[in-house]
Amino acid sequence: MNKYRNKSVTIDNIRFASLAEAHRYKELKLLLRNNAIERLKFHPPYPIVVAGEHIATYYADFQYWDIKKGIEVIEDVKGVKTQVYKLKKKLVETIYAISITEIA
């Protein structure tokens, strides 16, 4: 258990940082089976590079293609939004011209 009282859990040989993230994975698996989404990825990396220098890497919780909406979705399951997370989110959204969807 970490300082935010999250309990990590492993499902399908994938380690999730919290029960909430594992629950979201189960929901996404159902959407995948029902052909509502495709190309589901777990913890995709987004390098944060500024002026040619690698500063950090942000790992989203999930990335997938929403078939009905015709868009790529990047999700982060959040209980606590730390200052570091807020900064990384803003940098990644700016660098990659994307929007990260937060799941509470």
Q: Domains of the chain (ranges plus CATH)?
A: 9-103 (3.40.1350.10)
What is the average pLDDT value for the chain, to the nearest integer?
91
What pLDDT, on a 0 to 100 scale, did the predictor assign at position 5?
64
Q: What proportions of the chain, in percent to the nearest 5, are helix, strand and coil?
A: 30, 40, 35
The stretch 41-63 carries a mean pLDDT of 95
Inter-residue contact 89 to 76 (CB < 8 Å): yes
Burial class (CB in 10 A: 0-12, 13-18, 19+), 90: exposed
Quickly state the pLDDT bin for 7 (edges 50, 70, 90).
confident
Quickly state the pLDDT bin for 1 (edges 50, 70, 90).
very low
Is the pLDDT at 22 greater than 60? The verdict is: yes
- Reported pTM: 0.84
